[in-house]
C-alpha cells in the first residue's frame, strides 16, 4: 500500500508540474504572438503614413518651389521609417520616427508661410489624414508596449524566469521616444 500511495503522490506531483509547465509555455507563446501582432499593426500604420507623405510633399511643392532642402529631408526621413531596419527593430524605428518628426515640423513650417496652401482643400485633407494616422500610430504603439510589458513580466517572474530563456523567450524592446529632451518641455504657443 505504501508503494502505491507514494507512486500516486509522485505521479500527481509530476502531473501538476507538467500542467504548470505547459500552461507557462503556452502563455508565453500567446504573449509573444500578441507582441508580434502589435508590431505588425505599427508597421501597417507607418506604411500608411509613408504613403501619405509624398502626396503632402507634392501639394506643398506646388506652392513652395524653392524649399527643396525641406522636401529632401522629409523624403529621407520617410524612407528611414519604412526601411527594413526600422520595421524590424523598435529602437531603430524610434530613431527614424524622431528624424521624421523633425522633418515634418520643417515641412509644416514651410506650409505656414503660404496662406493659399493653408486654404487648399487638398492640403487640408492630407493634413487631416496624416493627423488621423499619427493617432493610429500612437494607439498601435501603446498596444505594442502593453504587450511587451506583459511578455517581459511573464518572462521575468519566478519560477518562469528559470525556464523562459531556455525555451527561447527573451525580453522585447519597448517602442520608446529616443529624444526625451524633445518632450520634456511643454511647447510654446504664441498668438
* Average pLDDT of the chain, as a whole number: 84
Burial zone of 86 (CB within 10 Å; 0-12 exposed, 13-18 middle, 19+ buried): buried
Q: Please state the rounded mean pLDDT for residues 164-180.
A: 84
Question: What are the domain boundaries of the chain?
Answer: 46-150
- pLDDT greater than 50 at residue 189: no
Can you tell me the distance from the alpha carbon of 103 to that of 72, in angstroms, rounded to the nearest whole number? Answer: 9
Would you give the DSSP letter of residue 186? Answer: P
Would you give the DSSP letter of residue 187? Answer: P
| Chain mean position to CA 92 | 11
Closest CA to 122 of 63, 71, 47: 63
**pTM listed for this prediction:** 0.71
Band the pLDDT of 185: cuts 50, 70, 90.
low
Tell me: the pLDDT tens digits for 19-66?
999 999 999 999 999 999 999 999 899 888 888 888 888 887 777 666
* 8 Å CB contact between 128 and 9: no
Closest CA to 130 of 61, 71, 54, 52: 52
Helix extents (H) in the chain: 2-61, 68-81, 84-88, 90-112, 115-119, 121-156, 160-164, 180-184
Amino acid at each position: 500500500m505504501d508503494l502505491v500511495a507514494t507512486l500516486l503522490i509522485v505521479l500527481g506531483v509530476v502531473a501538476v508540474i507538467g500542467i504548470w509547465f505547459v500552461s507557462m509555455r503556452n502563455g508565453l507563446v500567446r504573449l509573444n504572438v500578441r507582441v508580434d501582432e502589435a508590431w505588425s499593426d505599427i508597421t501597417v500604420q507607418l506604411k500608411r503614413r509613408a504613403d501619405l507623405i509624398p502626396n503632402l510633399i507634392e501639394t506643398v511643392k506646388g506652392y513652395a518651389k524653392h524649399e527643396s532642402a525641406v522636401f529632401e529631408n522629409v523624403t529621407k526621413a520617410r524612407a528611414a521609417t519604412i526601411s527594413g531596419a526600422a520595421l524590424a527593430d523598435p529602437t531603430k524605428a524610434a530613431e527614424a520616427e524622431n528624424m521624421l518628426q523633425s522633418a515634418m515640423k520643417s515641412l509644416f513650417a514651410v506650409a505656414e508661410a503660404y496662406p493659399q496652401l493653408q486654404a487648399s482643400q487638398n492640403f487640408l485633407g492630407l493634413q487631416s489624414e496624416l493627423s488621423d494616422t499619427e493617432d493610429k500610430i500612437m494607439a498601435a504603439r501603446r498596444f505594442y508596449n502593453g504587450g511587451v510589458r506583459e511578455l517581459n513580466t511573464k518572462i521575468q517572474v519566478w519560477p518562469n524566469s528559470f525556464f523562459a530563456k531556455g525555451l527561447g523567450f527573451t525580453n522585447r524592446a519597448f517602442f520608446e521616444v529616443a529624444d526625451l529632451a524633445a518632450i520634456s518641455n511643454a511647447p510654446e504657443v504664441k498668438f
